[in-house]
Amino acid sequence: MLLGFVFCTNAAESTLLNDTLPEVVVTNSRQQMLLASKSDLPTTFYSYDINKFQITSAKDFSAFVPSLYMPDYGSAMTSSIYMRGLGARIDNPVVGLYIDGVGLANKNSFDFQFLDIRDVNIFRGPQGTLFGKNTIGGLINIRLLSPLSYQGTRASVTYANQNYAIVKASHYAKFNDKVGLALGAFYRHCDGYFVNQYDGKLTDWNNQAGGFLKLEFMPTENIKISNLINYNFIKQGAFPYHKLNQPVNHNDYCGYNRHNLIDGLNIEINFENVVLNSTTSYQFLKDHMIMDQDYMPYSYFTLEQQQKEHYIEQNFTLRNRHHTKILKTEEINLDADKRSFFAWDWIAGLSISHKQNDMSAPVTFFRDGIDTIILANANVFGDAARYDIREQQFTIYSDFLTPTTNVALYHTSYLTWNNWQLELGLRLDYEKSSFRYQSHSHFLYNFAPYLPEYQKLECNFNGVSNLQYFEVLPRIAASYTRPNWSVFASIAEGHKAGGFNSQLFADIVKNQMTNEMMQQNKPQEIDDVITYQPERCLASEIGGRYNYSNNSWKVKLELRLFDNELFNQQLTVFKPNTTGRQMTNAGRSRSLGVELTANVRFKGLSANLSYGYTYDRFIRFQDGANNYAGNHIPYIPDNTLSVGLAYQWDIQHDVVRAVTISAQSKTIGSIYWDNQNIYKQPIYSLLDANIILSMKYVELSIWGQNLTNTQYNVFYFESLSNVFMQSGKPITYGATIKLEI
């Protein structure tokens, strides 16, 4: 059955609501200047688009934006983003995500439930000059509704198969012309889609809850203050990984819990000629991951990871309030009034941030793992002499403290001369991180018949590793704009932060204990393997746009070509017979691509197309045993394609105002999974559809996703010489009712 209800205005009113709300509140200056750039226009989704496409989180934007791929696998902690041949599965992202001017400090927070989104702007290409590290692929900028621009009560209920349900409610109030307040909350549940053959239970169940409080205050016409407090909680079953062509089948619990709090304060002061903006943010992340790391119905080993992270950032920007007209000339003749001017807009900023991450990551070995992973490698003498470990299980404890400080100065100038705009930017970025580690374990062992009594073996690794670097991030862009078309080009440099391989310590301790048990002194170079260097990207792009509209037609076309040169590319690798994964620098790679978007509207009929093709290859990458030069970069889709068609009937009856029918197809692939390019996911397509019935205060929609029930995989990896996959979600169908009063 399809049951549920949601609350909104009719389609025409909804579009008006999200396209034409007045901007009376503070908006972060960096986002304002980014939107003012004529060489870097974003792909924009308004609330109406998000509703029509059933977008509930950032992962749903995959393929809607050319070359953007955000696979939904693992857990809410696994928020990998791939853009234009860039991306990695763990640690730092290549795309930044901002909410009302506050950048999320940890990509573990990227997967959250959308609630009252005004619009989303997605920028492609390096944004490091204004936004710093981890934006080499682009930026996702989310803006929430403003209580000074919009007032009312909104509520919605969604229900779908697998007991998928979302309940939302929010209220926006404007007490006077100076003060507005908004409150909102949500709850989300799903039974899951994948059955664990071991116990017959659904393994990927999901519960989420959260809310926000937003206060906006304008004490004077020149001072604007906005404060957003947002909290999100999730508890879920996770990691439904399975062997190739087999069902999910593991014996130990897999799950993920997360608490995430964000507090962002924006203050804007308008002086006579300049605008000063201050953004102060505090973020708290507490999460707990439990993983059956062998993913099989055997007692090999499990991994836990608990972390508490505090993050504080202060960002000041100063920009000119009006065009600074450097030169203006006027010539009058009989044909026309010719005017020429040269104007200068600019923004300068200072950013200071500090992150403190406290992590605990114990790995527990059980009897099967002790026998197979440790003793099988130690007992090479046949039956004449054998090692044995008395414990049925033992734990390798690892604790890490990682403080990171970042300081940056940046400036961008926008020089406008008639139809030309030249953009010149530079950022000076300094970062220092330290990694304090304590890892230890012990067990009792013997070596019969030579050492019949059990002896205690204990191993400890304690130390500090440091990583610091200074980056210079330039950007040059130019554009030429006419009323219906424009052309643009840019070249920019960005970087993704370096870091530390915390998941290697269980292997380091295990190998050291095995060596000591066998009385072998094999020194391990810890610093050489636990650190990885920043990834740098030199990106160039050219493109053009065309717009046309009249009373019946509206056409938007855009074509872009890009070239990304990557140095010290960060890649996730699994080493044979290990318990974890490792980030390493791959040397050099290159990604070339073409992107096309088209939007056409004729009266009530609309069509959209978004296509991205990426040609990505390693130029230089050797892991000591293999040379991967010329191979595809893993996890990057060659193609992303989204094609949609919608028709809206404006009925304007007393009861029914409009009916909208839409269908959308998303095509992704091929995706190579490994450096050798042996395994890959062939190209696949997903079909979504939505029927929306809009009334004065109520909106009903019936929708479906992956209606063809396409079978595909979203993840691949190797562990203990086994190949594991995660399947994509099957068909989902449901209904939503919205109310807006």
348-359 per-position pLDDT tens digit = 999 999 999 999
In the predicted structure, residue 7 carries a pLDDT above the cut 60: no
Question: Could you report the per-residue pLDDT of 573-589, keeping only the tens digit for each?
Answer: 665 555 556 777 877 89
Burial class (CB in 10 A: 0-12, 13-18, 19+), 624: exposed
Confidence check: pLDDT of 408 > 50: yes
Instruction: For residue 453, count other CB atoms closer than 10 A to its CB.
Output: 8
8-state DSSP, 375: I
By mean pLDDT, which of 268-282, 289-303, 383-397 is the weakest?
383-397
If you average pLDDT over residues 470-480, what whole number do you get? 95
The whole-angstrom separation of Cα 72 and Cα 81 is 10
- The 10s digit of each residue's pLDDT in 73-126 is 889 998 889 999 998 777 889 999 999 999 999 999 999 999 999 999 999 999
325 lies in some domain: yes
> So what's the pLDDT on residue 14?
40
- Per-residue pLDDT band at 524 (split at 50, 70, 90): low
Give the max Cα distance, the chain: 111
Secondary structure element (H or E) that encloses residue 35, with its range:
helix 29-36
Does residue 189 fall inside a structural domain?
A: yes
Q: Please check whether residue 427 lies inside any domain of the structure.
A: no
Q: How far apart are CA 451 and CA 669, in angstroms?
A: 57
Residue-wise pLDDT for 236-264, tens only, equals 999 999 998 899 999 999 999 999 999 99
pLDDT at 329: 44
Residue whose token pair is 């080493």? 575
What gap in Å lies between CA 581 and CA 566, rounded to an integer?
22
Is 538 part of a structural domain of the chain?
yes
pLDDT confidence tier of residue 502, bands split at 50, 70 and 90: confident
**Rounded mean pLDDT of 183-212?**
96
| pLDDT tier for residue 328 given thresholds of 50, 70 and 90 | very low
1 — pLDDT class (breaks 50, 70, 90):
very low
The count of domains in the chain is: 1
In a domain? residue 141: yes
* pTM, rounded to two decimals: 0.90
- pLDDT per position as a tens digit, 680-691: 999 999 999 999
Give the pLDDT confidence score for residue 11 in this predicted structure: 35
pLDDT bin (cut points 50, 70, 90) of residue 8 is very low
Percent of the chain with pLDDT over 70: 90
Is residue 426 in some structural domain?
no
Q: How confident is the model at residue 325 (pLDDT cuts 50, 70, 90)?
A: low
Domain carrying residue 366? 6-374+387-419+438-482+498-740
Q: Residue 705: which CATH number?
A: 2.40.170.20
- In this structure, are residues 378 and 518 in contact, taking their beta carbons and an 8 Å threshold? yes
Q: What is the pLDDT of residue 537?
A: 93
**Is position 344 within any domain?**
yes
CA distance 719 to 239: 14
Which H or E run includes 400?
strand 393-417
> For 47-72, what is the mean pLDDT?
90
Q: Read off φ and ψ for residue 350, nearest 5 degrees.
A: -130, 130
User: What is the average pLDDT across 545-560?
Assistant: 93
Which of 71-75, 147-151, 255-259, 373-377 has the least mean pLDDT?
373-377
Backbone angles phi, psi at 352, to 5 degrees: -130, 130
Q: How confident is the model at residue 335 (pLDDT cuts 50, 70, 90)?
A: very low
Confidence at 4, pLDDT banded by 50, 70, 90: very low
For tokens 């992973």, name the residue. 373
For the record, the structure tokens of 209 come out as 């809850």
Among residues 362, 347, 218, the alpha carbon closest in space to that of 275 is found at 347
Structural domain includes residue 1: no
Whether residue 334 is predicted with pLDDT greater than 60 in this model: the reply is no
